[in-house]
């Protein structure tokens, strides 16, 4: 069978919880990044921030090619894109890393409910944080109101999670024929590309932050 890995803010291959879980299933993998207008055309997202994000998307695509896979880039509403991709690939599993913003939680809940109702296995993974909201509570089962006791408990909990980067990903047989948009650039969203050496796309790839 086939598993979809939905890349969102986590545009990397190393220490990636959802990708690691998908690889563990032993199934073929379809990596996808969905470009949402809510983010790409938002007035609260500046040109430089969008450029950095899209450059990281492009870098992720190149890194996936190095491990024998391919990033599928599509533009639209996540649920519609995922449903279409499931229809095209026959995927029966979806993995992604949790996001904790109110909008993301609402969006992801809708995606999970809709896909699970169609028999798709959906697993959201802890990745962006070491300890999730609600994991560190006081003796009364409530969130700490004072930072110092919270910090003391936080420091006692294990933090040794590290998922290795796969040297080879099991790609879905037809992944090279799947439709994918070209590597995105800010101009296609009516933005201006930042100028200067520090804004080269190569400065935002996974390797740029390694070591």
* Average model confidence (pLDDT) across the chain: 88
pTM assigned to the model: 0.87
Q: Which CATH superfamily is domain 2-128+164-206 in?
A: HUPs (3.40.50.620)
Comparing 143 with 97, the larger pLDDT belongs to: 97
Residue 89, H or E segment? helix 78-89
**What pLDDT was estimated at residue 20?**
93
- Its sign, for the CA torsion 139, 144, 145, 147, is positive
- Contacts of 197 by beta carbon, 8 Å cutoff, 6+ apart: none
Residue 127: closest CA among 11, 26, 39, 47: 11
Q: What percent of the chain has pLDDT over 70?
A: 91
pLDDT, mean of residues 189-210? 70
DSSP bridge pairs for 3:
29, 93
* Tokens found for residue 201: 């796309």
Residue 31, H or E segment? strand 28-35
**What pLDDT was estimated at residue 209?**
54
């Amino acid at each position: 069978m086939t598993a979809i890995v939905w890349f969102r803010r986590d545009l990397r291959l190393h220490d990636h919880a959802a990708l690691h879980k998908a690889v563990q299933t032993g199934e073929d993998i379809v990596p996808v990044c969905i470009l949402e207008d809510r983010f790409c055309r938002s007035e609260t997202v500046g040109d430089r921030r969008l450029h950095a994000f899209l450059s990281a998307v492009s870098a992720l695509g190149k890194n996936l090619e190095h491990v024998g896979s391919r990033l599928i880039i599509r533009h639209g509403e996540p649920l519609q894109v995922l449903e279409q991709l499931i229809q095209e690939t026959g995927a029966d599993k979806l993995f992604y890393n949790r996001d904790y913003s109110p909008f993301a939680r609402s969006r992801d809940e809708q995606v999970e409910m809709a896909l699970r109702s169609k028999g798709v296995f959906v697993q959201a993974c802890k990745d962006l944080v070491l300890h999730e909201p609600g994991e560190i509570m006081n003796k009364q089962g409530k969130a700490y109101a004072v930072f110092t006791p919270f910090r003391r408990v936080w420091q006692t909990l294990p933090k040794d999670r590290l998922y290795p980067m796969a040297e080879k990903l099991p790609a879905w047989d037809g992944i090279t024929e799947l439709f994918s948009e070209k590597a995105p650039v800010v101009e296609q969203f009516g933005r201006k590309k930042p100028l200067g050496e520090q804004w080269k796309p190569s400065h935002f790839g996974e390797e740029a932050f390694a070591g």
